[in-house]
Chains A and B, each alone.
Chain A
Amino acid sequence: MSYFREKRIRTAAFLIVGFLLTVAGSQRIQFDWILMITHFPAAITRFIQLYLPPDFSELGRMIQEMGVTVLIALAAAATGMILAFFAALAISARTSKNKTLTLIIRMLASLTRNIPEGVWAIVLLMCFWYGEFLAYLVMSIISFGFLARVYADAMDETSMDCIEALEATGASYWQIIFNAVVPETLPALISWSLYAAENNIRSSTIIGMLAGGGIGYLIGNYRHFRQFQSLLVAIVLVVAAVLIFDQISAQIRRRILQ
């Protein structure tokens, strides 16, 4: 029984340490547990007072900006897709030719992926100024970081014995890429790109608030001028767009990857 006992002790110790860390952490950042629970009904009441009833007067403009957001999200996903494809060729063990290049691209992808989109927006804002183009740049960067990783994984996971066969027929490197690697991984690439586009729509709110462009810019504005009743409509619009896009891309993905 000693094994189970040891395991139980380990679990208990893990939980206690976690609990202590949480308590000490909330102490440090002044997170108030009691307030969180006791104040919750009041917070809901306040929300209802401020945000309801929804104000639809600017719906037309919102829909237009939502369209812009979707366009930016798709364009950025496409940019990320193209760049990430070549990056993944350099990263994946089966297709990389040059060790230094692999290392550089790996670091680049890791850098773009591990800095949050909002921070990219702040930094690029300093030299690019507000607007749709900046939103597009930020989304392209995060799409690239995300896609480079999942593409490389997809290339590593797919059976790539065909590379050896084409090499033996005397095909060149790019012939092997376009006649074997691309056909074999394209469905996976496309379905991940759809995922990246969906992610872009989700993060369009935060990017729009910080960098301008699309529905996020409107949301930031409504908040700034305390037009909460319009803000609610804009939020519902974003949620609807995310849900619809999620449904469509799930259907497409299921049929592509059959």
Chain B
Amino acid sequence: MTMELVNSKVLKVGVQHGQTVTARKGSMLYYKGDVTFTPHSMGGGGGMPGFSGVAGMAGRMMQGEHVALMVAQGAGEVFYGLEGLYVEIIPLDGSSMLTVEADRLLAYEGHVQTSIVPLTSQGGIRGAVRGAMTGQGMFTTQVSGQGTVAVLSHGGCFPLQVGGYGGEVVVDPQAYVGHLGNITVDLSASVGFRDVVGRGSGEATQLKMSGQGTVWVQASEKKF
């Protein structure tokens, strides 16, 4: 399977027999060849590795992490795009997991696994506080396996290295798109707690990313 960008906002996926591509419902622009589409919902089918059925069910139902999907299979080319948002292709080599919000996922190869995890599983209470502060909700989506994932952003996104020579990166919660690798995300308030409570979006709340990996940020504070 091949995934490439036609332009910064349109994704082209080449599908062959025996392969599937899962994409957000309503994002298919056009296709060529013999391709069929079946509705699908995230969290179903593949199961939720590491989580009990109850947690999985709660995850699917809560906080908008439940996104309607379409599975395309057959042989041909499918073109995807959504609401003029920018598309970024992220290749996964299987060694680490990509964490991203479900509504930012445009398309992914059929054999990568997605699971919905509570934010509390990555950073305890602070993770939950982060979800509440940034409006991301209490659940997020993890993508694992080997394959390619296409992620949506507003204003185009770019990767920043975390760890190694670069050290820590601090990211605006609204500009945060997702991260890959072994990264700890901490909510930090650099201007003092009063500003966090008082004036909402400023430089008051920040996400401190430490560890080893890559974080994607978008050039906009717009949430979609």
Please determine whether chains A and B interact with each other in the same assembly: no
